[in-house]
Amino acid sequence: MVRKAGFPAIVDAGARVLILGSLPGEASLAAGQYYGNPRNAFWRLMEGVLAAPLVPLAYDERLKALLSRGVGLWDVIAEAERPGSLDAAIRDPAANDLVTLIDSLPNLRVVVFNGGTAARLGGRLVGDRVATLALPSSSPAHAARSFEQKAEAWKAIADWLA
């Protein structure tokens, strides 16, 4: 089985919120973009959090918009074996160095976990270094909640950016 590797962190010293996914799915890896699957609700959810349009922007502009508002992105898993895109299929994961990154961010207020796998694996690594917030996954595979329900939960991020 082929190991899949994630992307570098998108973060700067102004980050107040760090959003951590598990590991990019097939569509994101093929696009070379965080949340590159057009069915993934991440960018739409963040539009609600930031009250700003993100979906119409080019990818680089989306990232700049997040950074300018104090939001960084990364994943809990640096690389793993996984056929397809489902978190349940992840095998032999190697973690990103979350502790070093978190310790390097002087303005960080909260680590937000995008989904249950990120929360379960990342929560162990983050420990009590900083506040954490576990949110329902933005993935199209996580259909247990409607977009509206997810959007309501994700609005909690805005409190940490105020």
Give the model confidence (pLDDT) of 21-39 as tens digits.
Answer: 999 988 999 999 999 999 9
Give the model confidence (pLDDT) of 95-150 as tens digits.
Answer: 999 999 999 999 999 999 999 999 999 999 999 999 999 999 999 876 778 999 99
- Is 96 marked active-site? no
Residue 84 is predicted with a pLDDT of: 75
Residue 91 pLDDT level (bands cut at 50, 70, 90): confident
Q: Which residues contact 74 (CB under 8 A, 6 or more apart)?
A: 6, 7, 8, 9, 10, 11, 18, 19, 20, 21, 96, 98, 101
Q: How far apart are CA 64 and CA 41, in angstroms?
A: 19
Q: Output the pTM of the full model.
A: 0.94
Q: Which of 40, 96, 107, 114 is catalytic?
A: 40
